[in-house]
Amino acid sequence: MIRSATLTLQPPLSPLSDNNRLRLFSGSANVPLAQEVARYLGMDLGPMVRKRFADGELYIQIQESIRGCDVYLMQPTCHPVNDNLMELLIMIDACRRASARQITAVIPYYGYARADRKTAGRESITAKLVANLITQAGASRVLAMDLHSAQIQGYFDIPFDHVYGSPVILDYLNSKGLEDIVVVSPDVGGVARARAFAKKLGDAPLAIIDKRRQAHNVAEVLNVIGDVKGKTAIMVDDMIDTAGTISEGARLLRQEGASQVYACATHAVFSPPAIERLSTGIFEEVIITNTIPVPENNRFDQLTVLSVANLLGETIWRIHEDSSVSSMFR
């Protein structure tokens, strides 16, 4: 089911001080989210022509004057990743050549982020490569949500605003009135994320699933560190891709005596066979956000989609007004 965000954010009560210079455009990756953000800001998406040549090349033209404007381009680099990334780069280039004053790439989901360092010889660091591409295309700053690794911010030599989807998920969980909660990190690398999440859930206890990954998208779960017996386990991650890690972790939590298991993630990548794994009934609920669009054929009874439009809209407004963004998460 689709649920709107329950964040207590209100649209600006007065017009933006420089509203005539603010422009919001959307790529094709997640138009519904961009439309929600535009409604929050009390404006319309900017007009744009998007076409393909016969060989698949993209053509983009901005159809209004943006000379001297602050332009925000919304485009998650989700599936099809290469097409959506290329579309973002062409949009940035078009705005730069149209003499926009500032170009902000709003990337709700930052693709190619998992290769953020070299773990073996002769590997590419694609997270840095994408950062270079976005910068060289002409972006003035970047706004992204829940990076796979926070260090990716350092790959950019332009201002970078990193926001989190957790307030939307936390508000929803608090509204459910769950008791005897334990927050579970699906791996050691996600402990910091899970700890921050647990702190905002009334200092809930923390548990960790110890695993060893044998290959990409293949995980072997070993054991649980922490007490989950008789508790409501809330598994927290930045993304769900094939759901191998989180589903195997849920089975282990059940074996260790967890009474209920919830899965929470910001980005629903949902590569096959994620839907089959998530819809087996092992989870009471799978809670995600709409940073990546979820088609109808990927919906199942336990799925809840929360909107981050208000959060992104508020962030865009604060950036445009030179206000603090970090204060939203205190």
Catalytic (active-site) positions:
211
Among 117, 65, 60, which Cα is nearest to 86's?
60
Task: Give the residue among 133, 177, 178 at the shortest CA–CA distance from 156.
Answer: 133
Q: Do residues 222 and 210 touch, judged by C-beta distance below 8 A?
A: yes
In degrees to the nearest 10, what's the CA dihedral of 35, 268, 310, 67?
-50
Beta strands in 192-307 (DSSP E): 206-215, 218-225, 232-240, 260-268, 285-289, 303-306
First and final C-alpha spacing in the chain = 29
For 211, the token pair is: 């695993």
Burial class (CB in 10 A: 0-12, 13-18, 19+), 141: middle
